Structures are given as structure tokens and as C-alpha cells.
Amino acid sequence: MNLARCLFVTSLVVAVGCSKPKEGGSCTPGAIFGHGKGTCVDKQNAIVCVDGTFKKVKCRKSATGCMEVVGDVSCDVIKEVGEPCPGAKANDCSSDGKKWLECEGGAWKQHMACSKLCVSNVEGIRCENVAGSAGDPCTAENKEKDQAECSVDKLQLLLCDGTKWYAAASCRGQNKCRAVGKQIECDTSMAELDDPCEEEGTLSCDTAKKTMLKCVGKKFVQEQACKKRCNNAFNKFSCD
């Protein structure tokens, strides 16, 4: 091989080796998500290695935005439903701190909505909730710790059965369902027939205040019809 040909081959290899990553190209995974081999498209977008493939991701708006240093890229990746994620079994909080996300099929999916805050630390991911809806997903940890939350309309106390939140008690009283310190309180002084309840034998008045109700078998049933009025002042119940 003559010298001229050698120089041509060498320059070609250098040119190929220095070409910037392109979306859809293969790469070697292993770097921290959003940091490592890649390139900046602009300040708010980057192409990074995601689970063996170069993908376009969004970077948080900041003073630095997306940065390139000696062929590596640094991007504070925006984590949101539908955006690329680093690989199977990955879990994280969304960038707005309102959702627990899990990686599925190369994109973030919502695992659980966090009405208060999603927390990510060395202990893992958890939702700190104040309000939710029956049927929302929950974890075995929520059940083990006997955690509770209020429904969005504040009319139900929700508990976790290990996989989803369910209405454990009706909170139709004046104070409804509310957080008091770290505790969730449910005002059961008013209810309707067949509303869910927790404590066997608990008394309540229906919302029309015509019937005294009693918690039997996890639901309110009629205890007594009141000729005039059902009274529920100061947690003392009586019929006039």
C-alpha cells in the first residue's frame, strides 16, 4: 500500500471516528442516563445512548442546558410520560415531581400519580399522597405501612389492598377527609345507606338527617328511623 493511500485511509478512519452520533444509531449502554457519549441538538435537546440506541431526549431548561465536553454530552433529561427511558425495570419520579414513572418499551409510563410529591432516594421510589382516586395503583409497601389517603373530592378515605387504592370509609361529615399532621382523618358523622365504613358499630346520620345509621359488615345500614331528626353533635348520636 503506497503512502498516499495510507494517508487517505487514515484520514477516513479519523473522520468516521469523529462523526457525531445520529438518532437511531447503535451505542454501548452503561453511562448515567443523559450523560456520556452523545451530542447536543440545541440547548434543550440532546441525542444520548438509551438502552443501546441513540435517542433524542429533552433537557431541562437551565443556565447550561445541554453541554458537550470532549465528545461526551451532559443533559438533565426531562422525565415525563412518553419520553425515552434508560431501560427495563427503571423507575423514577417525573421531572415535575407529580408522578411515579416506570420504564416500559423504551418509554416512561405512569405507575402512580402522586398528589403531593414523588420522592426518589437510596431507599427507592415512593409517592407522598394527600388525594387520589379509588382504583389508582398502589404498592405492597402502602398496605404494609397501613397508609391512607383522601379521594380528590374529600368524600372517601382510601386504603391500599396491595395493588390499588379502594374506598374504605365514607367521609360525608363537615370535616370530610383531611390530613392532620401526618395522619388522615375521616369525618363519618354523616353517611348514606351502603356507604363503606371501617369501624364496626360506628354510628352516623344520613345526609337528610332522617335516619340513624350503623356500620355493620364494613357498610352503613339503617339502625333507626327518626321521627323528626337524627342528631350528630359532638360524636353523640340520637333520634328525635
pTM above 0.75, yes or no: no
Residue 208's CB is within 10 A of a number of other CB atoms, namely 11
pLDDT band at 108 (very low <50, low <70, confident <90, very high): very high
171-202 pLDDT, tens digit each: 999 999 988 877 889 999 999 999 999 999 99
78-95 pLDDT, tens digit each: 999 999 888 777 889 999
pLDDT band at 6 (very low <50, low <70, confident <90, very high): very low
In the chain, list all ranges with CATH 2.30.130.50: 79-128, 188-240
Residue type, 148: A
Provide the CATH topology of domain 131-176: 2.30.130
Do the Cβ atoms of 216 and 200 come closer than 8 Å? Answer: yes
Is the domain defined by 188-240 classed in CATH 2.30.130.50? yes
Q: Which stretch of 6-10, 16-20, 111-115, 165-169 has the lowest confidence by average pLDDT?
A: 6-10
133-151 pLDDT, tens digit each: 899 888 887 888 788 889 9
Which residues are registered as beta bridge partners of 27? none
CATH architecture of 79-128: Roll (2.30)
Terminus-to-terminus CA distance in the chain, angstroms? 110
12-41 pLDDT, tens digit each: 333 334 567 888 888 876 667 878 888 899
